[in-house]
């Protein structure tokens, strides 16, 4: 079955740099295959703009396989577009109709300032991870084989589910408060559930939450929008686990 072709109107946020005022610009694009990915459609648009002597639209991308989390776009009011459990690079044009108008924006969060057009600065996530999202391992002498440390199947599965977070920021962009608690909860949980993460558990959760607050992210009000729009289906249970870890650590430091 041959792919259909779409004619589309694109309303895209254009912003020269982090200090300039942005606005929506409207573009027409024709004969887009429904088999194309959303990013491939933007590639075609940029080729057309370059041919016309115009500046292409800046947007983030890397692996284009739903792994890196770079393709952070708000499409028609939804993080990563009108489908669930996918990143923008996995979104295909068959989810749109001929002659449809598509509105494309960057993540909207004070903690994710726009760099240019659809590209935002998500280095706040990196600083949170640097504050505690790691484990220290003594590698001198005879290091214990990780396979010799017993971990229950349930805890291992939950840790792996939490570690699936790719840090795309959809949770922040979707949350009405601009909260990063799903992201931080996942990163705390992936270590808190495993014996290797127990040694630094208290320091980790205190430092990461402190860094999150300093970056200007909002608080969680349990609306659940973050879980719905997360491309990896990270559970709200991780926020609850992070809160328990935080309360335990805070009480022990008093």
Domain locations in the chain? Answer: 5-115, 123-252
Pick the CATH number of 123-252 from 3.40.50.300, 1.10.1060.10, 3.20.20.140, 1.10.3720.10: 1.10.1060.10
Of 223, 156, 222, 232, nearest in space to 189 by CA? 156
What is the b/e burial string over 189-202, where b = at least 16 CB atoms within 10 angstroms of the residue's CB? bbbbbbebbeeebb
What pLDDT sits at residue 146? 66
SS3 content of the chain, % helix, strand, coil (to 5): 40, 15, 45
What is the b/e burial string over 142-159, where b = at least 16 CB atoms within 10 angstroms of the residue's CB? eeeeeeeeeeeeeeeebb
What pLDDT sits at residue 147? 72
Residue 1 carries which DSSP code? -
5-115 shares its CATH topology with 123-252:
no
Kindly report the pTM of this predicted structure.
0.93
What is the chain's pLDDT, residue by residue, as a tens digit (254 residues)? 578 999 999 999 999 999 999 999 999 999 999 999 999 999 999 999 999 999 999 999 999 999 999 999 999 999 999 999 999 999 999 999 999 999 999 999 999 999 999 999 999 999 999 999 888 877 666 766 767 788 999 999 999 999 999 999 999 999 999 999 999 999 999 999 999 899 899 999 999 999 999 999 999 999 999 999 999 999 999 999 999 999 999 998 76
What pLDDT sits at residue 44? 98
* CATH match of 5-115 with 3.10.20.30: yes
What pLDDT sits at residue 1? 59
How deeply is 81 buried, as exposed, middle or buried, from its count of CB atoms within 10 A (0-12, 13-18, 19+)?
A: buried
């Amino acid at each position: 079955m041959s792919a259909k072709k779409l004619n589309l109107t694109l309303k895209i946020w254009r912003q020269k740099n982090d200090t300039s005022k942005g606005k929506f610009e409207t573009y027409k694009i024709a004969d887009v295959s429904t088999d194309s990915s959303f990013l491939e459609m933007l590639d075609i648009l940029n080729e057309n703009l370059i041919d016309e002597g115009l500046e292409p639209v800046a947007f983030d991308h890397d692996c284009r396989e739903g792994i890196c989390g770079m393709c952070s776009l708000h499409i028609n009011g939804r993080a990563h577009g009108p489908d669930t459990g996918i990143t923008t690079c996995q979104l295909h044009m068959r989810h749109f109709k001929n002659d449809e108008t598509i509105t494309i924006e960057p993540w909207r969060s004070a903690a994710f300032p726009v760099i240019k057009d659809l590209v935002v600065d998500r280095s706040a996530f990196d600083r949170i991870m640097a504050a505690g999202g790691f484990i220290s391992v003594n590698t001198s002498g005879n290091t214990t084989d990780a396979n010799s440390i017993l971990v229950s199947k349930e805890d291992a599965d939950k840790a792996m589910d939490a570690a699936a977070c790719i840090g795309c920021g959809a949770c922040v962009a979707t949350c009405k408060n601009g909260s990063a608690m799903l992201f931080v909860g996942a990163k705390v949980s992936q270590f808190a559930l495993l014996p290797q993460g127990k040694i630094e558990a208290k320091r980790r959760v205190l430092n990461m939450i402190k860094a999150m607050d300093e970056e200007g992210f909002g608080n969680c009000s349990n609306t659940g929008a973050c879980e719905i729009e997360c491309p990896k289906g990270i559970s709200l249970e991780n926020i609850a686990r992070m809160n328990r870890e935080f309360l335990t650590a805070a009480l022990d430091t008093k």
